[in-house]
Amino acid sequence: MDWIWWSLGAIFVLSVFAYLYAELQAFWLRTTVAKIPGGQRFEAHGFSVDMLKGAGKVRVKARKAHYSQKANDKQVAMEKSGALDVTFDALGLRIELSRMVRTINNPKPGQDPTLPTGWHSMAFQATEEDAVLRLDHVPTKVADQFIGFAKQIQVWVERQEHQRKARLEAEEAAKREAEEVAEMRAAAKAKGKAVAIPPEEQIAQWRRVAGFTGTNTETGLDGKGGIEWFIDLDATGRITLHSGKQTAHTTLKGATITSLGGELEINVLDAEGNPDPHSFRVLKNMPPDVRRAWKERLEMLRDSFKRPNAITA
C-alpha cells in the first residue's frame, strides 16, 4: 500500500510544480497598457515603454538592454549595457521588431535553414540623437502584444513630424517672402522710386515724425494699396497733410482753406518756417456734409491762432 501513497505524493508534487511553472510563464508573458500623467505606458516583465505626449518624449526602461550613441558635433560616442533608463525625443524615433532565429547546420533540401527561437529583438532608433537602444530576447508573445502599442507611437510621431515639416515650410516661405520684399524695396530705392508700404505703417511713420496723433483723421487710398491723400488734425491746430508726392507736419497758423469741386485745398506754411506755402488737396470723394464739417473745423482752429492766448503748436 505504501507505493500508492508514494505515487499520490509524487503526483501532488508534480501538479504543484506544473501549476507554479504555468503561473511563472503567465507572469513572464503578462503585458499591460495603462494611462500615466501625460501619456500611456506599455509594461511587461523586464521592460516598460512610456509614450509621453505632453512632453513629446518616449521613455524606455529595461532590466537588460544595450545603448549605443554615435559621436557628432553635439555629443560624444557612448556604449552602455545592463539596466537602462533612456528618454528619446519623439521626433525622428523609429521602432523595429525582428524575430530572432537560429541557423540549422546542414539543412535538408527544401528545408528553411533557420528556425524561430521564440524570441524577438526590439530596437528604438533615434535619428535626432543618432542612437539606438536594443532589447534582445523579448518573448515572441510579448512582442506580438507590443506591436499595437508601437504602431500608436509611430502614428503619433509621424503626426508630429508632419506638423514640424509644415511649420518649417511656413517659416521658410515667410522668410523668402520677407527677403523678396526687402529686395524689391532696395531695388525701388536704388531707382529713386517711392517704396510701397501698407497704409497703416505709413500713417504710423508719419505720426512718429510729427510727434502727435490726430483726434480727427481721414485717409484716401489710390486703389493700388497706396495713400492718395491724408489729413491728421489734433485739437491744438497741429496737422499732418499728404497729397500728391509731398507731406507736411505743421500747424494751421496762416493757412487758407478753399472748397473746390469735390475736395478741399489747404495751403499751409512749412513747419521749418519756409515762407512759401504748400498746397494739399484732401477729402476727395468724401460726402459734401463731411467736407463742410472739416472746413468749419479747420477754419475755427486756424482763427484761434489770431486771438490772444491762441493755441500754439
Is residue 172 within a helix (H) or strand (E), and if so which, with residue range? helix 140-190
Residue 307: predicted pLDDT: 54
- d(C-alpha 33, C-alpha 93), whole Å: 20
What pLDDT is attached to residue 189? 65
Indicate if 204 and 188 belong to the same structural domain. Answer: no
CB atoms within 10 A of CB 262: 12
In whole angstroms, what is the distance from residue 299 CA to residue 313 CA? 16
Q: For residue 7, is it within any domain?
A: no
The answer to whether residue 273 sits within a structural domain is yes
Inter-axis angle of helices 2-29 and 140-190, to 10 degrees? 10
* Three cell numbers written together for 313: 503748436
Whether residue 37 sits in one domain with residue 177: yes
Query: Domain ends where: 158, 193, 228?
Result: 193
Q: Does one domain contain both 297 and 173?
A: no
Q: Helix (H, G, I), strand (E, B), or coil: what is residue 161?
A: helix
Same domain, 162 and 281: no
Asked if residue 9 is part of any domain, the answer here is no
Picking from 204, 183, 206, 207, the residue whose alpha carbon sits closest to that of residue 195 is 183
At which residue does the C-alpha cell 475755427 appear? 300
The string of DSSP codes covering 228-255 is EEEEEE-TTSEEEEEETTEEEEEESTT-
How many domains does the structure of the chain reveal? Answer: 2
Which of 149, 172, 193 marks a domain boundary? 193
Q: Is residue 26, in this structure, part of any structural domain at all? A: no
Of 193, 213, 231, which marks where a domain is finished? 193
User: Looking at the domain assignment, is residue 207 inside a domain?
Assistant: yes
Residues 59 and 186 in one domain: yes
pLDDT along the chain (313 residues), means of 10: 57 51 54 88 91 91 92 83 92 89 71 74 88 90 90 91 86 82 71 65 87 90 84 90 87 87 85 68 89 90 68 37
Q: Are residues 38 and 170 in the same domain?
A: yes
- Domain assignment present for 13: no
Same-domain pairing of 37 and 87: yes
Same domain, 186 and 292: no
| Distance in angstroms (rounded) separating the CA atoms of residues 284 and 39 | 63
Q: Is residue 309 part of a domain?
A: no
Neighbours of 224 (CB within 10 A): 7
Give the burial class of 217: count Cβ atoms within 10 A of its Cβ; 0-12 exposed, 13-18 middle, 19 or more buried: middle
pLDDT of residue 111: 65
What is the domain extent for residue 35? 31-103+112-193
- Strands 57-69 and 78-89, by their bridges, are antiparallel
Residues 44, 155, single domain; the answer is yes
Q: Where residue 264 sits, what CATH number does that domain have? A: 2.30.29
- SS3 string, 121-135, reads EEEEEECCCCEEEEE
Residues 184, 208, single domain; the answer is no
> Helices then strands (H, E): number in the chain?
4, 15
The answer on 220 and 158 residing in a single domain is: no
Are 188 and 208 members of one domain?
no
Residue 12 covered by a domain = no
